[in-house]
């Protein structure tokens, strides 16, 4: 059984569910294979909440059955203005990582949130370092002011870049230590030769005195 509803929605294959709004200028929206669940909605999809800002919003947690991050297209052929991340250690040093609990008022508005410690950043502080990764969530405080949300993904990339910077520093220090060891070995060899010459000179003087 298949089901289609909305504006020019077509369930063309078995076991498909297709819902389409009228945001695509009259274009049809149809399934492309068996057992698909397709939604086209310019206003976003909400699970347990009404979406206000993002294409998909979930009230509470979301999960998947395998380890690893959600995938994102990252092909070099779709990128421009590519630059290597630099000054990662210095940048990360500006970010304060915090543990916290959500306020009673916020949890009252979102009952699925457990009263326990969480870890993240403070949006207003994070905005000073990564302004492009902080925006309004669509939720508001009781006084009407917008609640900010963050995309903390830069911490992942900058942490990896920081490890690379540290590795470079370690290799430089290893090279310095190796050079210093060679200098010490050279100085030790010179000292041994000088001590040998002094010993020979002392023996010669003692022999001449006799």
pLDDT, tens only, 22-52: 887 778 999 999 999 999 999 999 999 889 8
Using one digit for the tens of pLDDT, what is the confidence trace for 106-152? 999 999 999 999 999 999 999 999 999 999 999 999 999 999 999 99
Count of domains for the chain? 2
Using one digit for the tens of pLDDT, what is the confidence trace for 149-182? 999 999 999 999 999 999 999 999 999 999 999 9
CA 20/CA 33 separation, integer angstroms: 17
pLDDT at 144: 93
Domain assignment present for residue 133? The answer is: no
Task: Provide the token pair at 138.
Answer: 């669509």
Q: Which of 120, 114, 116 is nearest to 101 (CA)?
A: 116
Q: Give the global pTM.
A: 0.77
Contact 122, 133 (CB under 8 A): no
Domain assignment present for residue 52? The answer is: no
Domain assignment present for residue 173? The answer is: yes
Q: What is the DSSP letter of 144?
A: S
pLDDT at 70: 86
Domain assignment present for residue 135? The answer is: no
Domain of residue 176, residue span: 167-210
In this predicted structure, the answer to whether residue 20 has a pLDDT above a threshold of 80 is yes
The band of 186, judged by pLDDT with boundaries at 50, 70 and 90, is very high
pLDDT at 209: 60
Q: Say how far residue 4 (Cα) sits from the centre of its chain.
A: 39
Domain assignment present for residue 83? The answer is: no
Q: Which of 107, 129, 124 is nearest to 116 (CA)?
A: 107
Domain assignment present for residue 19? The answer is: yes
In this predicted structure, the answer to whether residue 101 has a pLDDT above a threshold of 90 is yes
Domain assignment present for residue 29? The answer is: yes
Domain assignment present for residue 13? The answer is: yes
């Amino acid at each position: 059984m298949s089901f289609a509803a909305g504006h020019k929605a077509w369930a063309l294959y078995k076991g498909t569910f297709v819902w389409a709004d009228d945001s695509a200028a009259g274009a049809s929206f149809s399934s492309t294979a068996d057992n698909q669940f397709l939604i086209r909605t310019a206003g976003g999809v909400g699970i347990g909440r009404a979406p206000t800002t993002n294409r998909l919003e979930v009230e509470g947690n979301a999960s998947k059955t395998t380890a690893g991050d959600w995938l994102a297209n990252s092909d070099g052929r779709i990128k421009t203005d590519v630059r290597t991340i630099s000054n990662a250690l210095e940048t990360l040093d500006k970010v304060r990582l915090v543990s916290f609990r959500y306020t009673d008022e916020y949890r009252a508005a979102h009952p699925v949130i457990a009263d326990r410690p969480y870890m993240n950043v403070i949006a207003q502080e994070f905005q000073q370092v990564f302004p492009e990764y902080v925006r309004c969530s669509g939720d508001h405080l009781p006084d009407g002011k917008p609640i900010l949300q963050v995309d903390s993904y830069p911490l992942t990339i900058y942490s990896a870049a920081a490890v690379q910077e540290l590795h470079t520093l370690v290799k430089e220090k290893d090279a310095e230590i190796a050079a210093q060891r060679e200098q010490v070995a050279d100085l030790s060899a010179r000292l041994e030769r000088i001590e040998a010459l002094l010993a020979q000179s002392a023996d010669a003087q003692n022999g001449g005195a006799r």
